[in-house]
Amino acid sequence: MKKVILFANPKRDPELRTLRLVQKTAGELGVSCAVGDLPCTLEELIPGAELAVTFGGDGAILRAARALTGTDIPILGINLGHKGFMAELEAGETELVRSVFEGKFTCEERMMADVTVFREGAAIHRDFALNEAVVGGVSRVVGVNVYGDGRRIMGFDGDGVIVSTPTGSTAYSLSAGGPVVEPTAQNLIVTPVCPHMLSARSYVLSPERTVTVELQHLGSRSAYLSVDGGESVPLCDLDRIEVRKSATVTRLVRLTGRSFYEKVSSKLGESL
């Protein structure tokens, strides 16, 4: 390996101590390091890079995945946060990056989703998600209809609805009562948020489906779209939000052999 990108995270890595440890190991192996702080301009960082390293929790990996979309550069996450389902290494395991720099690792592909907002038939906003797309109300309930390939799945008043990838199943969707789905699976998960209807439940759908969320009867109420916890996009009555499997994937470095099941048990509090 000749060049890696180190995405600095001063909030999670005070004085960049963990980053400096990784940088030191890279120097010992003759690996060049390009250091950036997301969000940042990547034109000078990407050329020649064979790996990106993030420091923090899953949020750091989400930001890196968005920045690197279309580059095929794998991401190694070093968890300095709380949960860190996507990160491969914990804070005390930085010595293992030596094996990664020597090319002794595998990559795991994670499905992403394309998200498009339609207003009066025209696409007004496009985005992509590694975790989820959230359609919700601002302070008040909203009415939503949810469709799969144009066929109605459910309709309800509530706080909103989450359309997640398998990677996002352990994030907001889980907190809202959604299922845990193995992250290498290919599915779209639809999870209502605080629905005023007993029959509104999560659905796990085929990756070939196009999920459409349609807002209804907003009136003076406000609604928004948030993708992977990013900036909110204001929505209007009768807006349609379409979510479908993307042709783009995120590649995550795998090294330790820890299973997804072990991570779920340890991160969610069960003792092994």
User: For residue 268, what pLDDT band results from cuts at 50, 70 and 90?
Assistant: confident
Mean pLDDT within 84-106: 93
pLDDT-wise least confident of 7-16, 42-51, 57-66, 100-109: 42-51
Mean pLDDT within 157-174: 96
Identity of the amino acid at 242: E
Higher model confidence: residue 79 or residue 218? 79
pLDDT, tens only, 251-260:
999 998 888 8
* Residue 256: how many other CB atoms lie within 10 Å: 14
Q: Which CATH superfamily hosts domain 3-105+255-267? A: Probable inorganic polyphosphate/atp-NAD kinase; domain 1 (3.40.50.10330)
Tell me which fold the domain 112-247 belongs to: Tumour Suppressor Smad4 (2.60.200)
Report the distance separating Cα 170 and Cα 168, nearest Å.
Answer: 5
pLDDT, tens only, 113-125:
999 999 999 999 9
pLDDT-wise least confident of 44-48, 71-75, 142-146, 230-234: 44-48
232: CB partners within 8 A, 6+ apart: 224, 225, 226
List the beta strands (DSSP E) in the chain.
3-8, 32-37, 51-56, 75-79, 89-90, 106-119, 122-129, 132-137, 142-148, 151-158, 160-164, 188-193, 203-205, 211-216, 223-227, 233-235, 240-254
* pLDDT at site 270: 57
Active site residues per annotation: 58
pLDDT, tens only, 123-133:
999 999 999 99
User: For residue 221, what pLDDT band results from cuts at 50, 70 and 90?
Assistant: confident
User: For residue 204, what pLDDT band results from cuts at 50, 70 and 90?
Assistant: very high
Mean pLDDT within 79-97: 89
The answer to whether 255 and 99 are in contact (CB under 8 A) is: yes
User: For residue 41, what pLDDT band results from cuts at 50, 70 and 90?
Assistant: low
Q: For the chain, where do the domains classified as CATH 3.40.50.10330 start and end?
A: 3-105+255-267
* pLDDT at site 101: 96
Q: The tokens of 217 are what?
A: 């009867």
Percentage of the chain exceeding pLDDT 70: 97
pLDDT, tens only, 3-38:
999 999 999 999 999 999 999 999 999 999 999 887
43: CB partners within 8 A, 6+ apart: none
Mean pLDDT within 42-61: 91
* pLDDT at site 272: 42
DSSP, collapsed to helix, strand or coil, labels residue 38 as: coil
Mean pLDDT within 170-179: 96
User: For residue 267, what pLDDT band results from cuts at 50, 70 and 90?
Assistant: confident
